[in-house]
Amino acid sequence: MATVGINVAVSPKGTSIAQGVQFAFSPGVGTPAGVVGTDGLIDLSKQYAKGTAVSLAFQITTPNITFTTGTSIGTFPLSFYASTNGAKDACWIALKGQNPSIYGGTEFVFASNALGPGNGTVTVLDNNNDGLQYAYALWIWIATNGTQGTRFEDDPRIINHPT
């Protein structure tokens, strides 16, 4: 099985948490050129044959974020959001053209250990065998006060193998 590492950098859009965050993506170590774009586009067809299962490993590369104005002032830890559904809360998936939501199909598999230590990583197995294109959304959690915080979404795309 192949692994595609995706580095996820999160930065503030302004000085206040109310202004939101922005995401930047880069390929992780050993990820082939062209598979991961800076906008979060993942195109497995650039390197992997249809039917090659690929583990998508998202890793937050900025562990903290700082805001200097507004209701939340300070430096706060970042993690992938997880609630009742574990890793499925951190990475929503849907067919291209549909709004991503908690995934319930069979093309993608979330193992019981899909969230890494401190929720700094999330891994999902893409069976990469149905020839369809998907959209995904990552959810980041900013813990502003212990267990209290704010979650933010980014919505790049996954291309398996266009039909």
C-alpha span between 41 and 158 (Å, rounded): 6
* 61 or 130, higher pLDDT: 61
C-alpha span between 140 and 82 (Å, rounded): 9
Q: Which two tokens stand for residue 72?
A: 């939340």
Sketch the domain layout of the chain as residue ranges.
2-159
- Taking alpha carbons only, the member of 59, 126, 63, 132 closest to residue 97 is 132
Per-residue pLDDT of 44-93, as tens digits, reads 989 999 999 999 999 999 999 999 999 999 999 999 999 999 999 999 99
Residue 138 pLDDT more than 70?
yes
Which amino acid belongs to residue 48?
Answer: Y
Q: How confident is the model at residue 162 (pLDDT cuts 50, 70, 90)?
A: very low
